[in-house]
A = this chain, B = another copy of it.
Amino acid sequence: MTRITTERKYSGRIIDLDVDTVKFPDGSIGHLEMIRHPGAAAVVPFLDPHDAPDPRVLMLRQFRHAADGYLWEIPAGRLEPGEAPESCARRELREEAGMTAGRVIPLVPILTTPGFTDELIHLFVAHNLSSVPTAREPDEFMEVHEVHWSEVGRRIRQGQVRDAKTLVALMFVQCFLLKA
């Protein structure tokens, strides 16, 4: 597929919306709506070593207008211009959860919903945490909770965790880090 032209339909605070004219693999021409996003990072903060019995992680209870309520999430946020994903993960961990991390390990990058946005979120795990003051944005409303891993699993299975990046990060840890 080749992009022929891009028309910016909306330029906003968080996102921009383009309509791209593209040539499809079969040679036909079409139009695709595309939300352009700067990318983001998200991090699973472990309070205990992840091989400890039933380790605790930090989770956020965050108000989301899109869900018209509070969601269980992990600390996350947009990349600033020129910011490396790991630096962003460390910054969001500090600002949202009030923690610095001795060690941050990359998991995988994910495309949140590639049908209409190029948003890529880089996922991480953080260890060796130390408390620092939080520094949230004026429009961020959230509480930090310590949750045992067994309880994390129970909430996921029961459908109480609905945020995709949070689900991917937590289950990736379960499938590939804890079982290794």
Contact = CB atoms under 8 A, between A and B. Distances in A.
Interface of A: 1, 3, 9-10, 12-15, 17, 19-20, 22, 24-26, 28, 30-35, 37, 63-68, 71, 108-121, 138-139, 141, 153, 156-157, 159, 162-165, 167-168, 171-172, 174-176
Instruction: Please give the count of copies of this chain that the complex contains.
Output: 2
Q: Which 4 A-B pairs have the closest CB atoms?
A: A171-B171, A112-B113, A66-B114, A164-B164
Given A14-B33, A17-B17, A117-B66, A110 B172 contact: no
A143 to B, nearest CB: 11
Contact of A175 (B30, B64, B120, B156): B156
Contacts of A24: 139, 141
Contacts of A15: 33, 35, 116
A66 B118 contact: yes
A156 B109 CA distance: 11
Contacts of A108: 156, 159, 162
A67 B113 contact: no
Contact of A113 (B31, B113, B172): B113
Q: Tell which of A17, A66, A119, A138 has the most Cβ of chain B within 10 Å.
A: A66
Nearest to A111: B162
B33 A115 contact: no
A115 B164 contact: no
